[in-house]
């Protein structure tokens, strides 16, 4: 089964075999396969989550966010202090391939818009966009004009409000007013709900608690429970009067489980859905 992308070239590789790419046949800022995205750098810069670059042609440099020379760029485009250590800036010229644990990847174009995405799903974005932490824990908001690349478990399904979504299946949303919580009353007061409330056993699943979206916009869904890496975001400094402050461990981002070092076994488990 050959992919619909690209065409086989001459030389090594055989007709009817897999498509073979080189810098001239790789797409520019487009998908190579549903799981691999190619970014073209022409002296330009991209923000990139660490470890998501799988290969590149050309000459490129990858510098950490803390790098002094990048101060100005970071000041205008990167507003998520919790994430600074997870991101690098790629610059140079050539083509690089991005991928994330064999999840589906897609690019999104914003034109003077805003889109909020689950923090673990965001792979890369152009500096013309500004990255901010959403007030919904575990989500990041991109504002401005430009392109970004995000992963999802299975293709992203776009839905229109009104809709209620299992928080774990929510990949993100665009233009919607912030989601609110919806608790299924019948479920919570039922026998099981009572038991659960008393014993704490059974946890919560999407059936009794959803995020509800109303108004105009688009909701992005993916098929997942806890497969994607979660990263704590949205935690706020302990200031008086700021909702959620001092309670950084509540909300869906609690699974973050401290620092995630690349190569940790946790990655493996997530990848295999354990």
Partner 1 sequence: MAFREINPKMVEATVMPGQKLFSQRGAMLAYKGEVSFTPNMAGGQGGLLSMIGRRVADEDTPLMTVEGSGTVLFGHGGHHVHVINLAGDTLCVEADRLLAFEGTLQQGTMFLGSQGGVMGMVRGQISGQGLFTTTLKGHGAVAVMAHGGVFEIPITPQRPVHVDPQAYVAHHGDVRNKLSTALGWRDMVGRGSGEAFQLELSGSGAVYVQASEEKL
Partner 2 sequence: MGGRRPGGPERASKGAVRGDVHLWELLAAGACGYLRCVAMFRLQGSKVLAVDMTGDAVKAKNGSMVAYDGQMAFKKMSGGGEGLRGMVTRRLTGEQMTVMEVKGHGTCWFADRAAEINLVNLQGDKLYVESSNLLATDAGLRTGTSFTGLRGASQGNGLFTTTVEGHGQAAIVSDGPAVVLRVSPQYPLTVDPGAYVAHQGNLRQSFQSGVTFRTLMGEGGGEAFQIRFEGDGLVYVQPSERNTIAGEV
Question: How many angstroms separate the CA atoms of 131 and 115, rounded?
Answer: 10
Is 102 near partner 1 (CB under 8 A)? Answer: no
Is position 266 an interface residue for partner 1 (rule: CB under 8 A)? no
Range in contact with partner 1 (rule: CB under 8 A) among 14-22, 36-44, 184-192, 240-248: 184-192
Q: Is the dihedral of CA 144, 147, 151, 153 positive or negative?
A: positive
Instruction: Give the range of 42-50, 66-74, 88-96, 157-165 binding partner 1 by CB under 8 A.
Output: 157-165
Question: For partner 2, which is the closer residue by CB, 43 or 241?
Answer: 43
* Cα distance between residue 97 and residue 171, in whole Å: 22
Residue closer to partner 1 (CB basis): 150 or 169: 169
Q: Which of 57, 92, 147, 184 binds partner 1 (CB under 8 A)?
A: 184
| 190 contacts partner 1 (rule: CB under 8 A) | yes
Residues that bind partner 2 (CB under 8 A): 1, 3, 9, 11-23, 32-33, 35-36, 50-57, 61-64, 66-67, 88, 97, 99-103, 105, 261-263, 265, 267-268, 271-272
Nearer to partner 2, 18 or 177 (CB): 18
Binding of partner 1 by 117 (CB under 8 A) = no
Distance CA 57, CA 89 (A): 17
From the CB of residue 196, how many other CB atoms can be counted at a distance below 10 Å? 17
C-alpha to C-alpha distance for 270 and 256, rounded to whole angstroms: 12
Q: How far is the CB of 206 from partner 2 (least distance, A)?
A: 24
The distance of closest approach from Cβ of residue 126 to partner 2 in the complex, given in angstroms and rounded to an integer, is 20
For 137, the 3-state DSSP assignment is coil
Which residues, 6 or more positions from 140, have their beta carbon under 8 angstroms from its beta carbon?
80, 83, 116, 117, 118, 119, 122, 131, 132, 133, 134, 233
Closest CA to 46 of 94, 85, 111, 83: 94
102: left (phi over 0), alpha (psi -120 to 50) or beta: left
> Of partner 2, partner 1, none, which one sits near residue 20, judging by CB under 5 to 8 A according to partner kind?
partner 2
Does residue 8 belong to the site contacting partner 1 (CB under 8 A)?
Answer: no
Structure tokens at 111: 């034109």
Contact set for partner 1, span 209-228 (CB under 8 A): 210, 219, 221, 223-225, 227
Q: Quick check: 13 binds partner 1 (CB under 8 A)?
A: no
Q: Please give the angle made by the CA atoms of 231, 232 and 235, to the nearest 5 degrees.
A: 160
Return the one option of partner 2, partner 1, none that residue 134 interacts with (CB less than 5 to 8 A, by type).
none
- Residues in contact with partner 1 by CB under 8 A are 153-155, 157, 159, 162-166, 169, 184, 186-187, 190-192, 205-208, 210, 219, 221, 223-225, 227, 272-273
């Amino acid at each position: 089964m050959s992919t619909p992308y690209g065409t086989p070239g001459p030389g090594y590789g055989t007709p009817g075999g897999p498509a073979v790419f080189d810098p001239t046949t790789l797409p520019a800022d487009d998908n190579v396969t549903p799981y691999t995205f190619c970014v073209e750098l022409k002296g330009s810069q991209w923000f990139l989550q660490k470890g998501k670059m799988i290969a590149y042609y050309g000459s490129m440099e990858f510098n950490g966010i803390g790098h002094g020379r990048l101060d100005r760029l970071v000041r205008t485009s990167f507003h998520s202090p919790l994430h600074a250590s997870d991101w690098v800036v790629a610059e140079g010229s050539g083509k690089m391939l991005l991928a994330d644990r064999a999840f589906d990847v897609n690019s999104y174009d914003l034109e003077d818009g805003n889109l909020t995405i689950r923090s673990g799903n965001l792979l890369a974005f152009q500096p013309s966009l500004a990255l901010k932490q959403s007030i919904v824990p575990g989500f990041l908001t991109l504002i401005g004009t430009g392109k970004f690349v995000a992963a999802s478990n299975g293709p992203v399904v776009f839905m229109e409000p009104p809709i209620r979504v299992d928080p774990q299946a929510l990949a993100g949303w665009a233009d919607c007013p912030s989601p609110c919580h919806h608790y299924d009353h019948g479920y919570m007061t039922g026998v099981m709900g009572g038991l659960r409330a008393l014993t704490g056993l059974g946890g919560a699943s999407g059936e009794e608690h959803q995020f509800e979206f109303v108004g105009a916009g688009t909701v992005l869904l993916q098929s997942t429970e806890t497969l994607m890496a979660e990263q704590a975001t949205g935690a706020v400094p302990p200031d008086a009067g700021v909702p959620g402050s001092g309670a950084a461990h509540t909300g869906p981002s609690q699974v973050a489980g401290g620092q995630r070092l690349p190569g940790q076994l946790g990655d493996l488990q997530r990848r295999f859905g354990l």
